[in-house]
A and B are shown apart, each in its own frame.
Chain A
Amino acid sequence: MTTTHSTTRGASTDAPRGAATDVAPPSYPKRRPGRFWTMARRDALTGYLFITPQLVGVLVFVLIPVGLAIYYSLNDWNIFTGELSFVGGENYAALLDDPQLPTVLGATAIFSGGVVMLNIALGLALAVMLNRRFRGVTLFRTMFFSPVVVSVVAWTLVWGFLLQDNGGINGLLAQFGVVGPNWLQEGPTAMTAVVITQVIRSVGINMVLFLSALQGVPGELYEAARIDGARNSTMFTRITLPLISPTLLLTAIITIVGALQAFAQIAVLTEGGPGLSTTVLVYYVFQQAFEFNHIGYGSTLALMLLTFVMLLTVLQWQLRRKWVFYED
């Protein structure tokens, strides 16, 4: 086996090309029968070694934890003795009996729905406005994109500050004789505040994705439509929207999944309050597992979050096949 190395390398150039060689460049020919460490096998071994760190990482930090979460969800964790006792589906039954859960799911739906609708609408509007040539267009794009690179916690702190009862926003409103609400202390305005803060921070990414999609719409289509006497609004709904629908769908799903994971924004701005009004599922998982030490129930809630994310991903794949227009 020690000699294989030199012989195979020396012979590899004039060897007949085998069937397995035409797939991935550079192609390694199949070696003579009888030797185990052929070039192809050595190459495969290199492949396994190259992916090992990533594979082990996913195994240890993603797959095993998901397995453990399922295990915890079937157990009750006594925090004082550190003992797990099997309770079967009790934690799942508790989901149905939890008086807070409907409120939490409602807040999650309003938050995610609000974020995705505003984010897509604003992102698209900005992209359409900035998808043309005029003085300062690059500066405007930079300004709308800049919150994306501002630390989430810093961004949220500043907004929390501006939204205080005596903060900058109410101070500004007072100049116009308007008495602003105490934004973060009233349910509806607190929810509005977290949604808007989140949208302004992240809409830049969608704007950039939409801009690149708009660039891909062939100009001849508009030309032809114009000759047919189509109005701008008709061209937008009949040409632009269908042609960028793959991007629309993709960004909508990414935005919802991102909103389902928004933790820092809520934790810093409202801590889920007032009451439960801004307690979204992620924040509820954190509270149950780390503040109340309900490991079993917290894991059950976490699995519920995972189910939502999985369902949205499957939905995305299904919708792409059905609805979305592809030009080729």
Chain B
Amino acid sequence: MKTDTAPPTIDVVRQPSGSAELPAGAGVTPRRVPRSGAAIARRIILYVALVVLAVPFVVPTIWMIASSFKPLSEIFASPPTIFTDSPTWAAYGEAFAFQPFAQQYFNSVYIAVLVTAITMLVSSLAGYAFARIRFPGQNLLFLVVLIGLLVPGEVTIVPLFQMFKQVGLINTHWPLILVTALAAPCVLATFVMRQFFIALPGELEEAARLDGLGRVGIWWRICLPLAKPALSAVAILTFLASWNLYLEPTVYITSPELFTLPQALTRYTDAYGGEMWNTQLAAATMTVVPVLVVFLIAQKQFVEGLAHSGLKG
């Protein structure tokens, strides 16, 4: 499996991989080779194509942020503008006035943090056991766990709703925490952790055992500190999975003060059902920008983490 090997980073091509010998058409162009006019023309075409292609990827986000500072009248201005001459924070104030947005923000943050913490614990324990401990029925049990990856959450949500209703947990955060922390995203995490622990050399553990460490000690003191790359991938994947949940809160939660952010974003409508565009954009900006900033700082971990998710399926 190709993707089992080291996941790529955005910087991946920068690695010195004999680039000087590779022909241009093959995908890697040598640097600082005297260029012909045709080569320069090709380079210009490449830049133009990339810039044009990048527009729908980048402009919506920029436009969202810029428009959240526009007065409502300017949002549907023709011709459309990106930046406004009269920026205002009004929409940000409205976002908090119209809904308990601070509470909703807190809900999303604490749920995602809790889910991430539980998943890191559960998946590193299970991943370690499946990789390093021998016990009867191991392979069968691992297959049973992997079924959790095959079944989409959309399939189980109807019976899960009934189950949570039976125990009186509808309109609480419990379904959002428990299902995310123990079902599909966690199974993916267990798989990632197992793949990592399998590759660890056994001598370390052997030495620790001779020093009198038990299994729990080996897992906690030896293996987890070594597993930081895998753990950070797991953390990013799980946090994003929880942060982006939409179907689940829509089904389980009915009180505005219990909403999570994605759910809250869709509820900015005025008394007549008209959408409050600039308020919505301000709320969306507050939802997106922190994650985007963390992404720009920790790009490498993000890309590795999400490339790991490509193992799914």
Contacts and interface: CB of A to CB of B under 8 A. Distances in A.
Interface of A: 9, 13, 20, 23-27, 40, 43-48, 50-51, 53-58, 60-66, 68-69, 72, 126, 128-134, 136-138, 140-155, 157-159, 161-162, 164, 166-168, 171-172, 174-175, 196, 200, 204-205, 208-209, 211-217, 219, 222-223, 226, 231-232, 235-236, 239-240, 244, 246-247, 250-251, 253-254, 257, 260-261, 263-264, 267-268, 282, 285-286, 289-290, 295, 298-299, 302-303, 305-306, 309-310, 313, 316
B313 A46 contact: no
A239 B26 CA distance: 9
A53 B182 contact: yes
Contacts of B244: 151-153, 264
A212 B186 contact: no
B286 to A, nearest CB: 9
B278 to A, nearest CB: 10
A45 to B, nearest CB: 8
A25 B60 CA distance: 52
B80 interface: yes
B202 A26 contact: yes
Contact of B7 (A147, A159, A212, A231): A212
**Main SS of chain B's interface residues?**
helix
A154 B282 CA distance: 10
Interface in B180-209: 181-184, 186-187, 190, 202-203, 205-206, 208-209
B300 to A, nearest CB: 11
A50 B153 CA distance: 25
Contact of A54 (B21, B22, B126): B126
B271 interface: no
State which size class the interface on B falls in.
Answer: 35 or more
B31 interface: yes
B28 A219 contact: yes
Contact of A161 (B17, B178, B281, B292): B281
A29 B251 CA distance: 52
A133 B24 CA distance: 10
Contact of B11 (A138, A159, A261, A264): A138
8 contacts: A24-B133, A51-B125, A54-B186, A61-B179, A63-B147, A212-B12, A250-B310, A253-B313
Contacts of B13: 130-133, 137, 211, 215
B145 A58 contact: yes
A151 B60 contact: no
A25 B198 CA distance: 10
A66 B156 CA distance: 6
Contact of B28 (A131, A148, A306): A131
Interface of B: 1-3, 5-8, 10-14, 17-19, 21-31, 43, 46-47, 49-50, 53-54, 56-58, 60-61, 63-64, 76-80, 121-123, 125-126, 128-130, 132-136, 138, 141, 144-145, 147-148, 150-163, 178-179, 181-184, 186-187, 190, 202-203, 205-206, 208-210, 212, 214-216, 218-219, 240, 243-244, 246-247, 250-251, 261-263, 265-266, 277, 280-281, 284, 287-288, 291-292, 295-296, 299, 302-303, 306-307, 309-310, 312-313
Contacts, number: 388
A166 B77 CA distance: 9
B187 A58 contact: yes
A127 to B, nearest CB: 9
B313 A57 contact: no
A68 B132 contact: no
B203 A43 contact: no
A57 to B, nearest CB: 3
B178 A61 contact: yes
